[in-house]
Amino acid sequence: MADYSVNGITAAKGFLAAGIHCGIKREKRDLALVVSEFPAVCAGVFTRNKVAAACVDVDKFQMTASPYVRAIVVNSGNANACTGAQGLADAWEMVDAVAGAMNIDRNEVFVSSTGVIGRTLPMEKLRAGIAAIVPIVSSEGHEAAADAILTTDTFSKEYAVQVMVQGAEVWIGGMSKGSGMIAPNMATMLAFITTDAAISSSLLQTAVKRATDLSFNRITVDGDTSTNDMAIVMANGAAHNSELTSIDDPGYREFFDGLVEVFVKLSKLIVLDGEGATKFIEVCVKNAATEAAAEIAARSIANSNLVKTAIHGEDANWGRILAAAGYSGIDFDPARTEIFFGDVPILRQNYGIDFSEEAALGVLKKKEITITVDLHQGDQSAVFWTCDLSKEYITINANYRT
């Protein structure tokens, strides 16, 4: 599997993109457009928050209204959430403006917004912006597009891989944005992925759902989703492999592995850019009774403010890690549990705690830290990704709106 982080959302054949400044933000780019030159099938996962933004409602409708998608328009700087009937009308107007300018069916356009909640969109700026962006999409536009979807992110997030599907070169590429919440209880997480694979709509949805469970939902953006979270994948078949329709088809495994690699990379980039983050933390719970139990424990540890602050302070406070597993709700035996920082054992079975503070500090000083919790109970595991909790997080979030 080749590994190219270049060309992101336009790595796959037949996809074009652009990103411009239309005036929602003061200076930065705030409008992106991704276009498929051919009708593409589409799969998506959306926030489960009861307070869903207008774009989520529109896109869920679009998923059922047309089997194909041609374009995704995204604005940053304003989430168009909690904006009621006006917000819904504005989201549809964005859709119609794109469909009109591209002369395509209105049900083939998706819309996405991210930014401040509770303010209506500046539609005059968006109308002008959409008119300006439609003519300039290109295969070089991926960088500008990836930049235009950011909010408090400090860098843009792109990745692409090439895989071989039945002898055909298939590209899978995409872009994402976080806002990199430490425990992302309201970070809007957006991800847009394109592929030139030929794949049926239903198999793509199956693949996207499972890949999401192994990636975006492992950075704790699932239970605690924002009003606007979404991941959308477009597949336009331009690679001309014979269409994948079943998980047993030759080449599906290669496609799926590539999709997971892109999803995981875009997830990790979100965590790496966590608000105020100084360290990247991988939490691996292994030898659990079930994958679900491993995931629950890993999530609990990855969500713990106390674990995150201890890692921030480079403090080998394994007690907080064990306690976070303890209150996660899963059944396990603390006395059998072992904890490692990197390869360094910190807690042995039966509360063996004669670890080397020096060796532990050697791991904790690094920028990327793996915490392994071995429950010695079964053979299932789960990995979560998170970051430390710093004072910078408070600074960023104390006055976000004003």
Residue 57 DSSP code: H
Nearest distance from C-beta of residue 294 to its own copies, angstroms? 15
Comparing CB distances to its own copies, the nearer of 5 and 152 is 152
Name the H helices within 280-384.
Answer: 291-303, 305-312, 318-326, 357-364
Nearest distance from C-beta of residue 290 to its own copies, angstroms? 16
Nearest distance from C-beta of residue 157 to its own copies, angstroms? 21
Residue 180 has, within 13 A of its CA and on its CB side, a CA count of: 30
- Residue identified by tokens 């859709």 is 95
Name the H helices within 239-356.
Answer: 252-272, 291-303, 305-312, 318-326
In the chain, what is the straight-line distance between the N-terminal and C-terminal CA atoms, in Å?
A: 46
Neighbour tally for 117: CB within 10 Å: 18
Nearest distance from C-beta of residue 242 to its own copies, angstroms? 42
Q: Is 77 left (phi over 0), alpha (psi -120 to 50) or beta?
A: left
* Distances from the Cα of 20 to the Cα of 14, 75, 131, 249, angstroms: 21, 10, 11, 41
Determine phi and psi for 185, rounding to 5 degrees: -80, -5
Residue 395 among the catalytic residues? no
How far is 264 from 305, CA to CA, in rounded Å?
Answer: 23
Residues near its own copies, by CB under 8 A: 48-52, 79, 81-85, 87, 116-119, 181-183, 185-186, 223-227, 304-306, 309-310, 312-313, 315-320, 322-327, 330-332, 334-335, 347, 350-351, 353, 389-391, 393-395, 397-402
Say if CB 137 and CB 223 are below 8 A apart.
no
Nearest distance from C-beta of residue 140 to its own copies, angstroms? 36
**Closest to 329 in 3D by CA, of 204, 251, 223:** 223
Residue type at 209 in one-letter notation: K
Nearest distance from C-beta of residue 68 to its own copies, angstroms? 31
Catalytic residue (choose from 10, 47, 114, 188): 188
Active site residues: 188
